[in-house]
Amino acid sequence: MTDRSTASTPAKRRVGIMGGTFDPIHHGHLVAASEVAKSFDLDEVVFVPTGNPYMKRNVSPSEDRYLMTVIATASNPRFTVSRVDIDRDGPTYTVDTLRDVMRLRPDSELFFITGADAIAQILEWKDSDDMFEYAHFVAVSRPGHELVLDDSLPRESVSVLEVPALAISSTDCRDRARRGYPVWYLVPDGVVQYIAKHRLYTDSDHDEERASAPEGSAVFSSDRAHEVAT
Ligand X SMILES: O=C(O)c1ccc[n+]([C@@H]2O[C@H](COP(=O)([O-])O)[C@@H](O)[C@H]2O)c1
Footprint on this chain of ligand X (rule: CB under 6 A): 19-21, 50, 53, 55-56, 92-95, 118, 125-126
How many residues comprise the chain? 230
List 80, 169, 202, 221, residue binding ligand ATP (CB under 6 A): 169
End-to-end CA distance of the chain: 41
Please say whether the beta carbons of 110 and 135 come within 8 A.
yes
Q: Which does 76 bind (CB under 5 to 8 A by kind): ligand X, ligand ATP, none?
A: none
State how far the Cα of 122 lies from the Cα of 129, in Å rounded to an integer. Answer: 10
Site for ligand ATP in 106-135 (CB under 6 A): 114-115, 117-118
The least CB distance from residue 15 to ligand X, in Å, is 15
State how far the Cα of 170 lies from the Cα of 186, in Å rounded to an integer. Answer: 9
Q: Per CB under 6 A, does 213 bind ligand ATP?
A: no
Label residues 102-130 b or e (16+ Cβ within 10 Å = b): eeebeebbbbbbbbbebbbebeeeeebee
Q: Per CB under 6 A, does 65 bind ligand ATP?
A: no
Q: Which does 94 bind (CB under 5 to 8 A by kind): ligand ATP, ligand X, none?
A: ligand X
Pairing of strands 158-161, 135-140: parallel
Q: Per CB under 6 A, does 52 bind ligand ATP?
A: no
List 171, 175, 184, 196, residue binding ligand ATP (CB under 6 A): 171
Binding site for ligand ATP (CB under 6 A): 20-23, 28-29, 32, 114-115, 117-118, 140, 142, 166, 168-171
